[in-house]
């Protein structure tokens, strides 16, 4: 396939894929590389598949380095397999991988895709360059993902490269596209140093840089939304903590005055304090804390887990950010009269008790 495509073609492809698949933050690749270096290739391929949200099983067949079938110059062919699409990648260094995609591949999301066996042929030297092998397999398994969705671009190599980059393999593609090897060739009274650079992937350097910049720009916009959620989360947590502390003081001061009934209360303060003992008053005080704690836990869990920005996930980011703004404002509104009531009670609570309460709270009395 010629790589004579325009930047406009690449940009349109990225926009189309983002809308359909979303975009992921770069994965931590060291676990994959470590498995490959230790010849645990199948486990590494499973991690790559999981990053693509493919719950498949993988069957590996090893072939000699430089293996070429009779029917193809740079990919394997399987003439006895009917209704199977063959996808393969190979560089001049001979690191080769091919995924066989059955015509009856289960549809993505169906239970039958879980543990479904996918056959892969790999060359024996696949462990020599873990980053290259990871890049090749990310591309090949992206074909499987596209096939499982019957995507119209399932055989398009450019779309497949772009999809793998978008789903977390940005750094692997960036570092694995070119591998330079160095060889010393002894000669009479001298040594010749020969370097060989092998390129992988279907995008030229210019096309790859353009695509990576576009993808990173989309990713940064989504990460900025995540940052805004974190900022609102911190604001709300701060106000919630202040409300808890103030509520704790209010209850303890009220308990103190209940035990010390000899305190002389000024008229207006007394009238106000009567309302504190009305049915439901304390429940009203505790209710928002319990409600907001549950909401906070839900949002915190969402925040920690989101690194995959689908359309639904991005919408949820916006919803939670706006929710936190609303919660913060509501809590601030409740905090104003609560602080005023604490100031009223504080006038009748001894200094010694207030100090004791302060240290008790620091030690966990708030629990």
Number of domains in the chain: 2
Predicted structure pTM score: 0.78
Q: Residues 87, 98: contact at Cβ < 8 Å?
A: yes
Residue 186, SS3 per DSSP:
strand
Q: Which of 170, 203, 236 is the last residue of a domain?
A: 203
Are 243 and 129 members of one domain? no
Say yes or no: 355 and 272 in one domain.
yes
Is 157 within a domain?
yes
Run of H or E residues at 23:
strand 23-24
Q: Decide if 280 is inside a domain.
A: yes
- 357 & 225 share domain: yes
Instruction: Report phi then psi at 140, rounded to 5.
Output: -65, -40
| The predicted structure's pLDDT at residue 80 | 25
> What is the enclosing helix (H) or strand (E) of 342?
helix 311-346
Q: For position 359, what pLDDT does the model report?
A: 79
pLDDT, position 173: 93
State which residues form the domain around 233. Answer: 220-365
Domain boundary among 172, 203, 234: 203
Q: Report the pLDDT value the prediction gives residue 79, as an integer from 0 to 100.
A: 26
Residues 258 and 199 in one domain: no
Are 116 and 21 in a shared domain? yes
Helix axes 130-148, 41-51, angle to 10 degrees: 50
Q: What is the pLDDT of residue 51?
A: 96
Residues 169 and 229 in one domain: no
Same domain for 58 and 195, yes or no, is yes
pLDDT of 184: 60
- Verify that 304 and 158 share a domain, yes or no: no
Q: What is the DSSP letter of 111?
A: G
Low-confidence ranges of the chain (pLDDT < 70): 1-3, 65-96, 179-199, 362-367
| pLDDT score at 319 | 96
Distance CA 265, CA 274 (A): 11
* Triad 197, 199, 200: Cα angle to 5°: 150
pLDDT in tens, 212-263: 999 999 999 999 999 999 999 999 999 988 988 898 888 888 888 888 888 8
Indicate whether 212 belongs to any domain: no
Q: At what angle do helices 205-259 and 311-346 cross, to 10 degrees?
A: 20
Q: What is the DSSP letter of 113?
A: G
Neighbours of 91 (CB within 10 A): 20
Q: Do 199 and 227 sit in the same domain of this protein? A: no
Are 148 and 197 in the same domain?
A: yes
């Amino acid at each position: 396939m010629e790589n004579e495509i325009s930047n406009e073609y690449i940009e349109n492809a990225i926009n189309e894929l983002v809308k359909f698949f979303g975009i992921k933050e770069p994965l931590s690749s060291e676990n994959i590389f470590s498995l490959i270096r230790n010849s645990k290739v199948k486990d590494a391929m499973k991690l790559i598949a999981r990053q693509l949200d493919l719950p498949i099983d993988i069957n590996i067949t090893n072939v000699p380095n430089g293996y070429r079938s009779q029917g193809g110059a740079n990919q394997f062919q399987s003439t006895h397999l009917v209704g199977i699409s063959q996808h393969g990648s190979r560089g001049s260094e001979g690191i080769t991988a091919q995924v066989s995609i059955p015509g009856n591949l289960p549809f993505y999301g169906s239970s039958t895709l879980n543990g479904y066996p996918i056959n892969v042929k790999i060359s024996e030297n696949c462990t020599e360059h873990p980053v290259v092998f990871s890049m090749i397999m990310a591309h090949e398994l992206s074909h499987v993902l596209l096939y499982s969705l019957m995507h119209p671009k399932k055989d398009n190599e450019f779309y497949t490269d772009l999809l793998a980059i978008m789903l977390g393999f940005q750094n692997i593609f960036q570092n694995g596209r070119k591998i330079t090897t160095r060889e010393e060739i002894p000669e009479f009274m001298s040594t010749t140093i020969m370097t060989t650079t092998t390129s992988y992937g279907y995008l030229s350097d210019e096309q790859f840089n353009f695509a990576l910049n576009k993808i990173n720009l989309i990713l940064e916009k989504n990460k900025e939304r995540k940052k805004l959620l974190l900022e609102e989360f911190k604001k709300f947590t701060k106000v919630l903590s202040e409300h808890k502390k103030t509520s704790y003081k209010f209850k303890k001061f009220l308990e103190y005055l209940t035990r010390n009934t000899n305190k002389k209360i000024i008229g207006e303060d007394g009238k106000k304090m009567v309302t504190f003992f009305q049915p439901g008053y304390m429940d009203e005080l505790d209710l928002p804390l319990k409600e907001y704690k549950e909401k906070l836990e839900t949002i915190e869990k969402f925040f920690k887990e989101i690194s995959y920005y689908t359309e639904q996930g991005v919408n949820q980011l916006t919803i939670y950010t706006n929710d936190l703004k609303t919660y913060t404002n509501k809590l601030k509104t409740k905090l104003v009269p609560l602080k005023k009531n604490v100031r009223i009670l504080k006038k009748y609570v001894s200094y010694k008790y207030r100090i004791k309460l302060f240290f008790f709270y620091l030690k966990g009395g708030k629990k």
